[in-house]
Structure 1
Amino acid sequence: MLFDTHVHMNARQFLEDRDETIQRAFDTGVKYMVIVGFDRETIPLAIEIAEQYESIYAAVGWHPVDAIDMTDEDLNWIEELSAHPKVVAIGEMGLDYHWDKSPKDVQKEVFRKQIELAKRVNMPIIIHNREATEDIIEILQEENAQEVGGIMHCYNDSADYVQTCLDMNFYISLGGPVTFKNATMPKEVAVQVPADRLLVETDAPFLAPHPNRGKRNEPSYVKLVAEKIAELRGTSFEEISKLTTENAFSVFKIGGNE
């Protein structure tokens, strides 16, 4: 049994075959998933899909690339939606310095506002980080984000930062890059992360794992991620499946740890 902790089944890439793709994941042993909404279009659909499936949940937040588009009304809307019974986290949020749509100061302001929101509603946060590690850590520490903790989504940074993240009450989630032949950092992290802080995800439709790299990703492929982590850690696929699912229950406060 697997838990894909970060998937975008609300993306347009799944418009034609969403239900079939979800069923394929279930048939592969992926029983649980969290669909992440990150703007005005994807947030309502994330909740709508979660309402249709007992074991699918939603996260609601605002992506840093689009931070410049977020209004106070949007922030209030996200806070209202956080009370929905299928919403289990706030995010994805964070900083993205790769794209230049939203200025860094705007991204930081929106990031801080969402952390404050998460603390008000006492929900974990999902962090998007692209080329902004030092600033993200600084903001998380200044905003006392450890009060709610959360997930470092699709962690693809140096293993040197893992302990800092753990100390701030965050879980480390690994996706497709851990399977890439030329990706050394995720492999190092996969070995280093304590068993009780490790999660798996796809980030579908993005970042498909080997041997499907370059194709549309889907939640059934999280099995490939778990298998690779098991290989790297010298343990069984079944053990990785069990512990990452239990960890997801814990961070999202659902299932057996509710």
Structure 2
Amino acid sequence: MKRIIDAHIHLEQYDEKDIVNIVSDNSVDALIAVSWDLDSCKRTRELAQQFPKVKPAYGYHPEQSVPAEKEIADLLSWMDHHQHEMIAVGEVGLPYYLRRKEDISLEPYIELLEQFIIRAKKWDKPIVLHAVYEDTPVVCSLLEKHSLEKAHFHWFKGEKKTVGRMIRNGYYISVTPDVLYEMEIQKLVCQYPLDLLMVETDGPWPFEGPFSGRQTTPQMIHFSIEKIAELKKTRVEDIYSALYKNTLEIFSN
């Protein structure tokens, strides 16, 4: 059995029956379960207590309104109390897609993200980031400012110059099943070093192409790995091994 780790999944957003099916997949060794807000963090924690495969990450997803000061204080206090349980800080970042829909200021999101980065550094945890295109250099600068090296940019997309900066800094990226049909992601896979790559689903986010109409599960990762092997011109077995090793490396405490 070829072993996989889903490096980024919103497990708490699935129905209970689907959660059981996902954690029962014998090819899945671990699920890096990210959180959306404080309630999501608490639910993710419950799943981690119920299923050993679930490795919880706590944070506040940026594609929503910035919380009030008390909400931020409550979340950070809760995370501090549970820091020893979490495998990473996440999902956090900047609201690229929300800004395409609404006229909002980026500054409050940058301030909130910096608080997460400071704590990830203090707690010696990797950080799971939602940052794409022109938002990525801003995030890179914050990571560099605080010397936080263990950074995971999930489902990353961005310009070649930024990609080079990320590679020099040793930041990891993870690839979703859209690598099977998105040229932009395929080019990124060819450019990014194998030793900084991981695979994810971002489930339950749905995919198109051969996955159209199907519920997103970690089983899709096996198809992603086959495509990565094709793009990298490397044996599939070696890709499985490398991606697995990379994920253990960044998420080991």
Task: Give the match for residue 119 of structure 1.
Answer: 121
Task: Give the match for residue 65 of structure 1.
Answer: 63
Q: Is the contact between residue 5 and residue 30 of structure 2 (CA under 8 Å) also seen in structure 1?
A: yes
Q: 1:186 to 1:158 in 2, by over 3 A?
A: farther
1:42-101 CA distance string (max 9 Å, x none):
1112122122222321111111123511421211212222211xx211011111122147
Q: Distance in 1 between matches of 2:127 and 2:110?
A: 15
Letter of the structure 2 residue corresponding to residue 112 of structure 1: E
Q: Is the contact between residue 128 and residue 153 of structure 2 (CA under 8 Å) also seen in structure 1?
A: yes
Q: CA RMSD in A?
A: 2.0
Q: Distance in 2 between matches of 1:163 and 1:130?
A: 14
Q: Distance in 2 between matches of 1:213 and 1:236?
A: 27
Task: Give the match for residue 9 of structure 1.
Answer: 11
Q: Distance in 1 between matches of 2:94 and 2:196?
A: 22
* Local SS of the residue matching 2:92: strand
Task: Give the match for residue 179 of structure 2.
Answer: 178
Question: TM-score by structure 2 length?
Answer: 0.88
Q: 1:243 to 1:221 in 2, by over 3 A?
A: same
Question: TM-score by structure 1 length?
Answer: 0.86
* Local SS of the residue matching 1:205: coil
Task: Give the match for residue 94 of structure 1.
Answer: 93
Task: Give the match for residue 200 of structure 2.
Answer: 201
Percent of paired sites with the same residue? 25
4+ residue stretches of structure 1 with deviation over 4 A? none
Map 1:10-29 to 2 at 5 A: 10-11=12-13, 13-23=14-24, 26-27=25-26, 29=27
Q: Is the contact between residue 178 and residue 187 of structure 1 (CA under 8 Å) also seen in structure 2?
A: yes
Show structure 2 runs of 5+ residues with no match: none
Task: Give the match for residue 157 of structure 2.
Answer: 156
Task: Give the match for residue 129 of structure 1.
Answer: 131
Deviation for aligned residue 1:125? 0.4
1:126-147 CA distance string (max 9 Å, x none):
110144223222322333323x
Letter of the structure 1 residue corresponding to residue 8 of structure 2: H
The count of aligned residue pairs is 244
Deviation for aligned residue 1:207? 4.3
* Local SS of the residue matching 1:244: helix
Q: After the TM superposition, which of the residue ranges 34-43 and 98-107 deviates more from structure 2? A: 98-107
Q: Is the contact between residue 23 and residue 53 of structure 2 (CA under 8 Å) also seen in structure 1?
A: no
Show structure 1 runs of 5+ residues with no match: none
Q: Is the contact between residue 229 and residue 240 of structure 1 (CA under 8 Å) also seen in structure 2?
A: yes
Q: 1:138 to 1:126 in 2, by over 3 A?
A: same
Q: 1:201 to 1:14 in 2, by over 3 A?
A: same
Task: Give the match for residue 42 of structure 1.
Answer: 40
Deviation for aligned residue 1:179? 1.4
Q: Distance in 2 between matches of 1:96 and 1:35?
A: 20
Letter of the structure 2 residue corresponding to residue 127 of structure 1: L
